[in-house]
Amino acid sequence: MIDNSEATRQLSIGELDSLILKACRGAGYSWGLSQEAGRAAAWLALRGLSAAGAFVTLLQQIDTTLISHTPEVLAQPSGIRLSRAGNGLCPVMTGAMLSDFGWSGEKVVAEQVYSPLILIPFLAASAKGANAGLAVRGDGVQLVIGNDGELTSGSAGFDESQRTVEITAMNYVSESEEIKFSRRAPVSPAELQILESFAHLTYVPASDQSRSGAGAGLTDND
């Protein structure tokens, strides 16, 4: 007999979005960045990519001093280099920074990005906004994002824990084709436990004051 308590959960895309938002908020991200993270997770899950696993890897490696994982920008003749001395980069903060800048066509090298798979939704938005294809390379693996903001090659290898990622513009016009989106996001029991443990950090502990306000009180509104 299968122990259903250990079965992989099939969350809706919205449920995964909410769970990742709360987990990131519990890990110390701002509400704005937590919302960005939830949307990125939804984007990945819709395309059948391992969003839950990528965020578990990220949150287990990054520390609560998030500023130490924020990219520092160094302009170079060959393009832009993003790095943080002595630390890996957070893909959410790195992706949000790249999205805010807008794609200028320059090559970008982001050094030692945790869970680089999480960068893809942000780069997809940049590619679509600039109507340009992007080649994304990292330590021997490569994927291509078309000008419509969709993956045109696989993402195998980008779910590793840490990679230096190089992003360059390329002439790639996506052909029109129907995209088959996933309707559910599989999350293993171990992944769910870790994400929920971070999400629980957002809950306010009960106090005498909050308990005194619980229930209907003395006023009967019926």
Is residue 188 situated within a structural domain?
yes
pLDDT at 113: 94
- As for how many domains the chain has, the answer is 1
Is residue 178 situated within a structural domain?
no
Is residue 206 situated within a structural domain?
no
pLDDT at 140: 80
Is residue 219 situated within a structural domain?
no
Alpha carbons 44 and 21: distance in angstroms, whole number: 14
Is residue 193 situated within a structural domain?
yes
Domain span including residue 169: 9-173+183-201
CA dihedral 161, 164, 168, 171 (to 10 degrees): -40
pLDDT at 18: 97
Is residue 192 situated within a structural domain?
yes
Q: 213-217: which pairs have CB atoms within 8 A and are 24 or more residues apart?
A: none
Is residue 127 situated within a structural domain?
yes
pTM of the prediction? 0.84
Is residue 145 situated within a structural domain?
yes
In three state form, how does the secondary structure of 14-34 look?
Answer: HHHHHHHHHHHHHCCCCHHHH
pLDDT tens, position by position, for the chain (222 residues)? 334 446 888 999 999 999 999 999 999 999 999 999 999 999 999 999 999 999 999 999 887 778 889 999 887 777 899 999 888 999 999 999 988 877 777 899 999 999 999 999 999 999 998 888 899 998 888 889 988 899 887 777 777 778 899 999 887 666 656 678 889 999 999 999 999 999 999 876 544 543 343 333 333 444
